[in-house]
Amino acid sequence: MTALDIAAIVWTLLALAIVPTQLRMAAPYGRHVRAGWGPSISNQLGWCLMELVSLLVFAGLFLAGPNGKTAPMWVFFALWVAHYVNRSLIFPWRTRTRGKTIPLAIVGSAAAFNVVNAGLNGLYFGWFGAVYPTAWLSDPRFIAGLVIFVAGAGINLWSDNRLIGLRADGGQGYAVPRGGLFERISCPNHFGEIVQWSGFALMCWNLPALSFAVWTAANLIPRALSHHAWYRRTFPDYPATRRAVIPALL
């Protein structure tokens, strides 16, 4: 086991260790924003900056590393870059959150997380991990993982579009989202992202990718539970049959 694998295991255990804290206290941004978290910046700029870190760190380490770049590895690279180009350079500026702010403390902590997460994965693929043979493209883990990744990304993008559309009239308030998976769960966008990175972990079959999948679930499941509770408090007629993040389960 390499030092990078050990670091990924420690990072994964940290994700599990903070779940109780995440369940007790929602991070103070978006609908959960509250005073006492210091200076803030534009919500759109904050999201751009903290997500851009993942794009630049991963791409830089992958491209600069001495590892050979085989076809499967270029697929991994393309999926990561496509997700974070959208997350950092497109999605924040599509959101109708002009005038809303996010604490700098949240932006900084998210950026620090992204440095570690993207760093572990970039170092694995670019520098210290196994070089995937071209035959990996036909491995059942790669094929199943790719299908799961694409399905999760599709759910995530569709859900984001539906949420953005709720403010098509220019309003800044919140409404009950309807249609598709929103009829089953409160946060299909979070569900999609969990599915997406679980697929990535399967198709890559390494510890840094697994650590990312665990961190995604550890962050987004408590966040979805907080959103679900907020919806129920805020809208008396909120559909009672909806779950928070996993259809029919949670």
Confidence of residue 28 (pLDDT cuts 50, 70, 90): confident
Number of domains observed in the structure of the chain = 1
User: What is the domain extent for residue 174?
Assistant: 3-234
pLDDT at 1: 83
Rg of the Cα atoms in the chain: 18
Q: Is residue 239 part of a domain?
A: no
d(CA 138, CA 135): 6
Q: Is residue 249 part of a domain?
A: no
Query: Residues 103-122: pLDDT tens digits?
Result: 999 999 999 999 999 999 99
d(CA 167, CA 17): 36
Q: Is residue 61 part of a domain?
A: yes
Q: Is residue 244 part of a domain?
A: no
Helices 207-234 and 188-204: crossing angle in degrees, nearest 10, is 170
The answer to whether the Cα torsion of 62, 142, 208, 88 is positive or negative is: positive
Q: Is residue 209 part of a domain?
A: yes
d(CA 21, CA 228): 17
Q: Is residue 62 part of a domain?
A: yes
Q: Is residue 63 part of a domain?
A: yes
Query: Residues 121-172: pLDDT tens digits?
Result: 999 999 999 999 999 999 999 999 999 999 999 999 999 999 998 876 666 6
d(CA 144, CA 211): 19
Q: Is residue 87 part of a domain?
A: yes
Residue 249 carries which DSSP code? T
- Coil vs helix vs strand at 243: strand
